[in-house]
Amino acid sequence: MNQYSIKLERNDKILLLAVQSNDTAHVQAQAVDICRAVDATQYSISYEQIKESTLAKLFRDLAFNNFEYTKCFQWQGSFSNKQPCFYVFGKRIYVRYSILQYLDIPKDNYYPKPRCGNTQCINPLHFDYKSAKHSKLSPGDIEILKAQRREGASVNQLAKILKVHRATIYRHLQQVA
């Protein structure tokens, strides 16, 4: 595991984040995802070692998929309107929407709310979304299913994670194909 730092920029404002990565290709992919998540316009990567912040820990956990469906992930940073948030580039960003951006899930028409009822939880596997359809899987679950499938998760793993039958997973995978 290598230690890097990413310098993110937007409107002459700078944010430095510590990043752990397997190799340079992985850190570059993380930098692109983090840029999208915090709405930065450009980035640069260096080998400088800096202290890991709460925000850096969040992006590390997202990069290495350190979330379990059965456990809440408590946000340790700021809150605004009882919602987890952080402040970068002089603006407030809500953590759950930032996670959607990081995972490249369109945030239009989605309101991420933790299914577990814990207002401090930012586990993306706990997110529930408003939906016009009545389905066993919410649109967010389907996006997570597609993302996890691209990462190589099996149908049985997906069914266990999303607490549905394998047939439901197969049906949604056929609709996507």
Question: What are 10-48's pLDDT values in tens digits?
Answer: 999 999 999 998 888 999 999 999 999 999 999 999 988
Query: Which of the two residues, 105 and 135, has the higher pLDDT score?
Result: 105
pLDDT of residue 133: 38
Cα 132 off chain centre by = 23
Q: Tell me the whole-structure pTM to 2 decimals.
A: 0.70
Domain assignment present for residue 143? The answer is: no
Query: Which domain, by its residues, includes 33?
Result: 2-67+76-105
pLDDT of residue 132: 37
Domain assignment present for residue 125? The answer is: no
Measure the CA–CA gap between 177 and 169, rounded to whole angstroms. 12
Q: What is the number of domains present in the chain?
A: 1
Domain assignment present for residue 100? The answer is: yes
Domain assignment present for residue 47? The answer is: yes
Question: What are 79-111's pLDDT values in tens digits?
Answer: 998 899 999 999 999 999 899 899 888 766 667
Rounded to the nearest 10°, the torsion over CA 98, 104, 105, 109 is: 70
Domain assignment present for residue 7? The answer is: yes
Domain assignment present for residue 8? The answer is: yes
Domain assignment present for residue 158? The answer is: no
